[in-house]
Chain A
Amino acid sequence: MNSKTKILRLLVALLLLNLSANAQNFLSKNLRIGLFSSTPLEDIRAVSDNGSAALVVKTREIAIQLNVKTLEFDRKLMQEHFNENYIESDKYPYAKFKGVLDQPVDFSKDGDYAVTVTGVLSVHGVDKKRTIPGKVTISNGVVQISTEFKVACVDHDIKIPKLVFTKIAEFITIKAAGKLNPLK
C-alpha cells in the first residue's frame, strides 16, 4: 500500500465519520442541577430543573449550562442572598461546564460508562480547568448523564463573610443528572 492510498483512505474515513456524526447530537433542557452545602451548623440545598446540556458524539464534547437564578431554595430570603451577595446572578447569570469526554463511548449501543470529562468550569465569572467524574448510560437511543463534584468557593472568587463562615461550607457539592434526547 503506498502513501497515496493511505491518505485517500484516511480522507474517506474522515468524511464518513463526519457524515455519520452529523446526526449524532444529544440535547436536554431540563437537567436537574442542585447544590449542597454542609457544615456542623447548617445544611443548605437548592435545586433547578432548568439545566441545559448538549452532547456532540463526533467530538465527545459535552456542555452543560444553568441559569443560576432558577435555583430554588427552601427559604426565599436565603435564595435572595445567594443571588445578591454570593453568586451575583445579575452580573454572571450562567454557570457553565464545557469539556470533552476522556474515554470513548459508543452512543449507538446500550450500556453504562464511568467517564471523566476534562474542560472548563465557569462560575461567578471565573473559569477553572477541571476534570469531573460522571456516569453515562445509554438505553434505547436516550443518553442519561449524572455527575457529582465539589466546587471550592474560593476558586471562583466567592467570598464568605466571617459572620456566616460557620453556616456556609467552603466546598459546595454540585449534582447534575438528566436525560439527553437525540437531536433530529
Chain B
Amino acid sequence: MNKIKYLLISFSFFTLHAQAQEADSLLKALDSGGVATTVDAAFKSTHVVLSHSSETQKKHDLDLRIRHHFGDIGGRFGSAHTLYGLDVASDLFIGLDYGVSDRFTVAVGRSKQDELYNFSGKYRLLRQKTNESMPINMTLFGQMGWVAREPLSDSEFAKYSNRFSYFFQSIISRKLSSRLSLQVMPALLMRRAQEDTRDPENLFSVGFAGRMKITKRLSFIADYTVVNGLSRPKNLTQAYYNPLGVGLEIETGGHIFSLNFMNSEYIVENNFIPNTRKSWSKGGVRFGFTISRNFTLFKSKNEDPDKKSKIY
C-alpha cells in the first residue's frame, strides 16, 4: 500500500514537473534557429558632429538639415568683442538628404564658405546582424564639391575643373551596446585648388567617431579626422590642424538637434578635411549647431491593412 502511494506521489510530481517545462522548451527548440535581425540605429542621425555616420535615410524620407559654425571662442578673433564667436558665422549650411531606398541616399547642399555646392550619394553596403553573422555596418560615401564663388586670383580657377573636388569614404561602424557605437572611416579627397604647391592634390584621411547615449534621447557624440601627417607634408607654409568635434545630440521624434564644439571652421568634408586652420589649443574652438527635420514624402505603397498607419 505504502509503496503504491509513493509511486503515485513521485509519478504525479514527475508529470507536474514535465508540465511546467514543456511549452517553454518547445518554444526554445522552435526559436533556436532564430530570425537574424539587423542591429539598427548605431547612430541616430546621418551625421555625427562633422563627419557622416554609417546611417542612411529611410526610404522616401527627406531630411532638411541646417548647420551653423560660429567664430572662434578665444584667441585674437574671439573673446567678448565677438561675444565669444557668436557674432561671426564662419560657415553656414543648408542641405537636403533623400532616401531613394533604405540603403541608398542622395543629397545636395550649399555652404556659405566658397559658395560650395555639394552633391553626394551614400550606399549602405553591409548591415550589422544580431546573430553576429555580420559584425559591422559598412557604408560607402561619395561627394562632389563645386566651388561657385569668384576666383580670388586670376590663376585660381584657370581651368574650370579646378573648382571641383571629389571625396570618397568608406564608413565602418559597430554598435557595441545599446549605448555605445564606434566608427572608423578611411577616405580620399581629390582636389585641384591648393594654396601650397607642396600640398598634395590627393589627400588621405582616417576619421574616428563615437556615440555614447546618456539617456534614450540624449547622446554625447564626437569625431576626429586625421589628415595632417598622413600623405600631407608637415612643413607647409600654412599650419593645418586635424578637425575634432564634440557635441550633444537631442532627438525628439522626427527632429534631431545637436549642439557642438569644434575647431573646424567649415562644414562639408571637401572643405573641413583639407582646410581646418584653427586649433583647439589656441582658442580656435567654436560653437555650432545642427537642426535636422525628417519629412515622409510618399505614403508607403504596402497594401497590408495590418501595417497601415494614418495621421489625421
Contacts and interface: CB of A to CB of B under 8 A. Distances in A.
Q: Are A and B genuine complex partners?
A: yes
Interface stretch (A41-49, A128-136, A137-145): A41-49
B23 A98 contact: yes
Contact of A43 (B4, B130, B309): B309
A73 interface: yes
A7 B4 CA distance: 8
Nearest to A32: B306
Contacts of A78: 309
Nearest to A78: B309
A23 interface: no
Q: Which of B58, B300, B304, B309 has the most CB of A within 10 A?
A: B309
Interface stretch (B27-35, B87-95, B150-158, B267-275): B27-35
Contacts of B30: 27, 29, 52, 54
B242 to A, nearest CB: 31
Given A11-B11, A14-B11, A40-B312, A27 B26 contact: yes
A43 B40 contact: no
Nearest to A175: B306
A65 to B, nearest CB: 5
Give the contact-size bracket for chain B: 35 or more
A63 B20 CA distance: 11
A157 to B, nearest CB: 13
Contact of B309 (A14, A44, A84): A44
B238 interface: no
Interface in A1-51: 4, 7-8, 10-11, 14-15, 18, 25, 27, 29, 32, 34, 40-47, 50
B13 to A, nearest CB: 11
Interface string B224-257: 0000000000000000000000000000111000
A67 interface: yes
B34 A55 contact: no
A184 interface: no
Contacts of A148: none
Nearest to B216: A85
Interface string B97-131: 00000100000000000000000000000000010
Contacts of A58: 19, 22
Interface in A52-94: 52-56, 58-59, 61-63, 65, 67, 69-70, 72-78, 80-81, 83-85, 88, 90-91, 93
A88 B309 CA distance: 21
B37 A69 contact: yes
A158 B224 CA distance: 36
A144 to B, nearest CB: 17
B8 A42 contact: no
A154 interface: no
B59 interface: yes
A84 B37 contact: no
Closest 6 CB pairs of A and B: A54-B26, A76-B58, A47-B306, A90-B178, A63-B23, A59-B19
17 contacts: A10-B8, A11-B11, A14-B15, A32-B306, A41-B312, A44-B309, A54-B24, A55-B23, A56-B26, A67-B37, A69-B35, A70-B35, A73-B307, A76-B59, A84-B41, A85-B217, A164-B253
Given A56-B22, A59-B23, 16 more contacts: A4-B4, A7-B4, A45-B307, A45-B309, A53-B27, A54-B24, A61-B23, A69-B37, A70-B35, A74-B299, A74-B307, A75-B309, A83-B41, A91-B178, A175-B306, A183-B26
Interface of A: 4, 7-8, 10-11, 14-15, 18, 25, 27, 29, 32, 34, 40-47, 50, 52-56, 58-59, 61-63, 65, 67, 69-70, 72-78, 80-81, 83-85, 88, 90-91, 93, 98, 161, 163-164, 175, 183
